[in-house]
Chain A
Amino acid sequence: MRKCSLDALQALFAHVNASMALYLPVDGSDGKAVYQKWSEGARWSHALNTVRSPKDFFFPQTEDLMKFKTAGKSIEIVDVRNAAEDFVIFGVRACDVKSFEILDRVFLTDPVDSFYASRREHGTIVSVACTRPSETCFCGTFGIDAASPAGDVSCWKTETELFWQANTPKGEAFLQLIAPLTEECGNEAVQAQQEKTAAVMKKLPLAELKADAFGGGKTKEFFDRPEWSELSQACLGCGTCTFVCPTCQCYDIKDFNTGNGVIRFRCWDSCMYSEFTKMAHGNSRLSQKERFRQRFMHKLVYYPENNDGLFSCVGCGRCLSKCPISMNIVKVMKKLGGE
């Protein structure tokens, strides 16, 4: 384990940024934290987390896949892929680090998504342990320890210092890079902080929330439950929950007519939208109740069914604070799973 003074962070960020692009949460103009590329003077946000999850780094909201240019009767196909460069994301919370594992299982299994894989390969993830979780946090429900975040490098921030620990070869390389600006140290301060955080986690309102009632093989048990009607009755059908979610991974591929060609791009899609997975025969889910059910069944039943019991929710709480009508996965789990 290594450490540095918080006062030395700006110099450390500059040092890292000199060899690869560094992204970190900073306070945006609306006062909310947002990941931004580091530049001289950029300050690491004190916010618990960003409104937008860091999934954008690997699975951006929109990206061009290819372009077609037409000239007369010929069509030219233009490869728009850029060679990805190494980058580091600093300040990722334990919940969000876990979300990358959930996305990996979708994008890195055969057939591998080369766009996603390239960015994953070039990205180094530096996580930071939480000390002041919000009432909307429930990462513990999914076995995530906010005080022991995963990632290539894990960090712990105390009043005056930042502690660094490498977990992977990529992480070792990163600690090598910042070695001149950090020093070797013991882990006593980190352990003390972890104990303190563990005590706080127990006081959270959602500390007792369990996901045990859900999991693979339970489609029949939950699909026709009458509670879906009541749970979904106020749903506006907007895409807020899906777009702030770090694990929602559905996308659409669309063509944009530029007038003299076509841009084929991929964009996030939302199962909450009426035209989601629309096919030649029409829509597979005609009511908002069915669309609403799809989202939660996917996270709590279908995904675990296909992924060794892993749930595709990390308890980050973004949907709890952002849903316009305050309906969310916690309310669904409590209603269907029995308090």
Chain B
Amino acid sequence: MQKVSQQQLIDKAVSLLADGTVSCVLGWTKGEFDYDITPALFTDEASLRQGFVWNDFCGANFSKYLVAKTRKCEGKILVFLKPCDTYSFNQLLTEHRFDREKVYAVGIPCEGMADIDKVKAICGDGISSIDCNGEKMAVQTIYEDAPVQVDASSVLAERCINCKSKKHVAYDELMGDEGDVIDSARFDEVAKLEAMTPDERFTFWQNELSRCIRCNACRDACPACTCEVCVFNNPKSGVENKSPANSFEEKMFHIIRAFHVAGRCTDCGECSRVCPQNIPLHLLNRKFIKDMNECYGEYQAGAEVGSRAPLVNYTTDDLEPGEVFNGRDSDA
């Protein structure tokens, strides 16, 4: 259950529309089932009251939508941002990807989002309704007479289990507390990969990446991937391909992408959420973040607007590549 209710968000949106603060609202709209929620623009009270939803399945990070939507909309857009979304918001501002003046950001607290696959693992398939408003999530399927009561904590998405911050780092208005940066165990999985031998690690990634179907959903959902034309979509680039020509190239796509977003990735986890093949893509990005933290000092992309990422901020004290492996005092 989320701390701020759907009704409170609708009322807030309606009042901001009514007093002219904003001209449209970027929100979530209900689907066929209670979990298949689609991002949508609302422009009037009636459609908000009819279609706007806010529950444990509103995972989509809206920050990236602002790049396209601020260009199209007249007036300001109201956007509701969860704490993790605000980091992407700041990062996009740092990169001058949208006009801050065209956005009215309302920070909303987040208790974590649910992973429907985990819900199904407990309750089975054939879901006819999910009620997230109680202490427990009530999941009704067509195969059972009574709804199954599920602890929301047992179906949290991976990125929410490893939530790095409940703090809103960007907003015009808050509904609830500003929140705090929290301790997380998000680098534990990376440490496990680091403990592997190179061969084991290669096998791990080969197995994971072999499932890739090159749908590009990871890239298209990623708030750090906002190139107007991606190099992989540009026939003149020489590397444009709709599917891997061979198994080597298949890996290269993800590795190139991870390099490209290094220092800019806020670890929002959209890449892994949208991957239809359940590839843990966030681990590539987290490895980069962990390495940068260790080599250049703690850095969180998007924590503030305008900060310079370690990889584009040269100082004479910077590590030399060899020192990573050999230590600072070696002659390497």
Q: Does A240 contact B (CB under 8 A)?
A: yes
Known A32-B278, A324-B273; contact A274-B233, beta-carbon cutoff 8 A: yes
Q: Does B298 contact A (CB under 8 A)?
A: no
The residues in A between 219 and 252 inclusive whose CB is less than 8 angstroms from any CB of B are 230, 233-234, 236-240, 242-244, 252
Closest chain A residue, CB of each to CB of B245: A256
Kindly identify which residue among B126, B217, B241, B278 contacts A238, using a CB–CB cutoff of 8 Å: B217
What total count of A-B pairs have CB within 8 Å?
138
Kindly identify which residue among A34, A265, A275, A325 contacts B235, using a CB–CB cutoff of 8 Å: A275
Chain A residues near B36 (CB-CB < 8 A) = 320, 326, 328
A263 to B244, CA, bound (A): 12
Q: Does A261 contact B (CB under 8 A)?
A: no
Chain A residues near B65 (CB-CB < 8 A) = 234
A62 to B161, CA, bound (A): 37
Q: Does A327 contact B (CB under 8 A)?
A: yes
Chain A: how many interface residues by the 8 Å CB criterion?
57
Q: Let me know if A254 and B277 touch, CB within 8 A.
A: no
* A255-288 to B contact mask, C-beta < 8 Å, 1/0: 0110000010101111001110010000000000
Q: Does B179 contact A (CB under 8 A)?
A: no
The residues in B between 190 and 229 inclusive whose CB is less than 8 angstroms from any CB of A are 207, 211, 213-217, 219-221, 229
Q: Does A167 contact B (CB under 8 A)?
A: no
Q: Does A29 contact B (CB under 8 A)?
A: yes
Kindly identify which residue among A62, A244, A328, A330 contacts B276, using a CB–CB cutoff of 8 Å: A244
Kindly identify which residue among A133, A244, A268 contacts B242, using a CB–CB cutoff of 8 Å: A268
A331 to B31, CA, bound (A): 8
Kindly identify which residue among B38, B207, B213, B217 contacts A326, using a CB–CB cutoff of 8 Å: B38
Chain B residues near A32 (CB-CB < 8 A) = 277-278
Q: Is the interface of B mostly helix, strand, loop or mixed?
A: loop
Chain A residues near B214 (CB-CB < 8 A) = 61, 239, 243
Kindly identify which residue among A30, A61, A236, A328 contacts B243, using a CB–CB cutoff of 8 Å: A61
**Interface window among A89-97, A106-114, A115-123, A200-208:** A200-208
A257 to B237, CA, bound (A): 13
Q: Let me know if B245 and A240 touch, CB within 8 A.
A: no
Q: Does A10 contact B (CB under 8 A)?
A: no
Known A30-B277, A135-B128, A331-B32; contact A238-B220, beta-carbon cutoff 8 A: yes
Closest chain A residue, CB of each to CB of B278: A30
Chain B residues near A48 (CB-CB < 8 A) = 125
Closest chain B residue, CB of each to CB of A270: B242
Q: Does B323 contact A (CB under 8 A)?
A: no
Q: How large is the interface on B (under 10, 10 to 19, 20 to 34, 35 or more residues)?
A: 35 or more
Closest chain A residue, CB of each to CB of B217: A238
Chain B residues near A239 (CB-CB < 8 A) = 213-217, 242
Q: Let me know if B241 and A240 touch, CB within 8 A.
A: no
Q: Does A105 contact B (CB under 8 A)?
A: no
* B20-36 to A contact mask, C-beta < 8 Å, 1/0: 00000000000111001
Chain B residues near A230 (CB-CB < 8 A) = 40
Q: Does A17 contact B (CB under 8 A)?
A: no
Q: Does B324 contact A (CB under 8 A)?
A: no
Chain A residues near B137 (CB-CB < 8 A) = none
Residue among B128, B142, B217, B243 with the most chain A CB within 10 A? Answer: B243
Q: Let me know if A330 and B32 touch, CB within 8 A.
A: yes
A254 to B221, CA, bound (A): 26
Q: Let me know if B221 and A51 touch, CB within 8 A.
A: no
Chain A residues near B40 (CB-CB < 8 A) = 230, 233-234
Q: Let me know if B243 and A267 touch, CB within 8 A.
A: yes
Chain A residues near B127 (CB-CB < 8 A) = 135
Closest chain B residue, CB of each to CB of A209: B32
The residues in B between 232 and 277 inclusive whose CB is less than 8 angstroms from any CB of A are 233-235, 238, 240-246, 273-274, 276-277
Q: Does A217 contact B (CB under 8 A)?
A: no
Q: What are 21 sample pairs from A and B whose C-beta atoms fall under 8 A apart?
A: A28-B211, A30-B277, A32-B278, A52-B277, A62-B243, A62-B244, A204-B126, A205-B32, A205-B33, A234-B38, A236-B221, A239-B216, A256-B241, A256-B246, A265-B245, A268-B243, A273-B242, A324-B221, A326-B36, A326-B38, A331-B31
Binding site for A on B (CB under 8 A): 31-33, 36-41, 60, 65, 116, 124-128, 141-143, 207, 211, 213-217, 219-221, 229, 233-235, 238, 240-246, 273-274, 276-279
Binding site for B on A (CB under 8 A): 28-32, 34, 48, 51-52, 61-62, 132-136, 200, 203-206, 230, 233-234, 236-240, 242-244, 252, 254, 256-257, 263, 265, 267-270, 273-275, 278, 320-322, 324-328, 330-331, 334
